[in-house]
Amino acid sequence: MEISLNILLVLALLFLMGSLFGWVLEVFYRRFISAANPERKWINPGFLTGPYLPLYGFSLCALYILAHMEITFIQNIIVSKIVLFLTMAMVVTCIEYIAGIIFIRKMKIKLWDYENEWGNIQGVICPKYSFFWAVLSAVYYFIIHPKILDSIYWLANHLAFSFFMGFFYGIFVIDFWYSMNIMTRIKKFADDNDIIVRYEILKSTIKSKSDEMKEKSSFVFSFVSGKVSLADNLKYYLEKEESRFGKIKKNYDIAKESIKDGYESMKDNIKDGYENMKDNIKENIKNGKEIVRRNGKEDDSDTDSNTKEDSCSTNEGTDGNR
């Protein structure tokens, strides 16, 4: 029982550490790299208000468990480690996929969007980020895992740390309840307008709206800026998305018409070519028949001539005999 309790405390600590570290990583990624933030502003990532991302917490717990795996069926140590890291990347990718799909289907919210990435599946996972998960798995295995285990076990055995963990998870539960209330309101808006809300674009749009109104946006409470309510921000987001999709639809319609015109033109050319070919074949067959007919007449004429000559020769011979 004591061992099970210690394992739970270790996993709880890893979840906390992964959530905090992932939040910091995503903050800097969105600030300096993400294409969804072209203005390069500081954006609070994730759907929670506080500084934590549960996806990274669950992923770190999974890496901790997988790091204890021994791949005995592969003798080569390098190959076995590569297989281990690929397994870690696949498991974390599965966690990412499950989390993304749950929010899309249940909440009508797309927390991240990989639609422009090569080989993506439903815009939720893609090979590029799975590769990054493999790299992070290797970093964890070689650098973090062997150095933090003793510290984690030490902390898990101290009551003061347990109090700190309880305090963290108490705030986490309150934050989760508050954030899910906002998610529910966004879901209702998405259902009413039959759309999937792209979470990153929504946050970026709210910040842009705040800049237009010359109001200071909140880094922590990202969905309400100044005197603008969440409902108004969602309407503004919808207008921006409709404008964007309107341009995309217009370009799509133009491309579709061009393809249609090209197809009709190609079909007409093929039809004309077929008719010309058919006429040429008929003409060639007609000419061939005419040539055959003429050759037949010439052959008949030659046969008659030869018959007459043979008859004359026969008559001459007969007269001579007489």
Task: Please give the full DSSP string across 25-65, using - where no structure is assigned.
Answer: HHHHHHHHT-TT-TT------SSSSSS--HHHHHHHHHHHH
Q: Is a pLDDT exceeding 50 seen at residue 1?
A: no
- In this prediction, residue 227 has a pLDDT band, given cuts at 50, 70 and 90, of low
Which amino acid appears at position 294 of this protein?
Answer: R
- Token representation of residue 189: 């808006």
Rounded distance between C-alpha atoms, residue 77 and residue 193, angstroms: 55
Rounded distance between C-alpha atoms, residue 106 and residue 47, angstroms: 14
Angle at which helix 77-102 crosses helix 127-139, to 10 degrees, equals: 120
| Per-residue pLDDT at 231 | 82
- Token representation of residue 69: 């795996």
| Per-residue pLDDT at 2 | 47
Of residues 10 and 137, more confidence is placed in: 137
- In this prediction, residue 245 has a pLDDT band, given cuts at 50, 70 and 90, of low
Mean pLDDT of all residues in 49-55: 90
How many Å separate Cα 312 from the centre of its chain? 97
Rounded distance between C-alpha atoms, residue 50 and residue 174, angstroms: 10
| Per-residue pLDDT at 253 | 56
- In this prediction, residue 278 has a pLDDT band, given cuts at 50, 70 and 90, of confident
Mean pLDDT of all residues in 51-76: 88
Of residues 253 and 96, more confidence is placed in: 96
pTM over 0.75: no
Q: Is a pLDDT exceeding 50 seen at residue 312?
A: no
- Could you say which DSSP state residue 106 is in? I
Q: Is a pLDDT exceeding 50 seen at residue 7?
A: yes
For 74, other C-beta atoms within 10 Å of its C-beta total 13
Of residues 322 and 299, more confidence is placed in: 299
List Cα–Cα distances, 109 to 59, 195, 293, in angstroms. 21, 9, 81
List Cα–Cα distances, 100 to 113, 215, 297, 317, in angstroms. 9, 32, 86, 113
pLDDT in tens, 66-77: 988 877 777 788
Dihedral-angle region of residue 314 (phi above 0 means left; psi in -120 to 50 means alpha; beta otherwise): alpha
Of residues 318 and 12, more confidence is placed in: 12
Mean pLDDT of all residues in 266-272: 76
* Percentage, residues of the chain above pLDDT 70: 76
Q: Is a pLDDT exceeding 50 seen at residue 318?
A: no
For 70, other C-beta atoms within 10 Å of its C-beta total 7
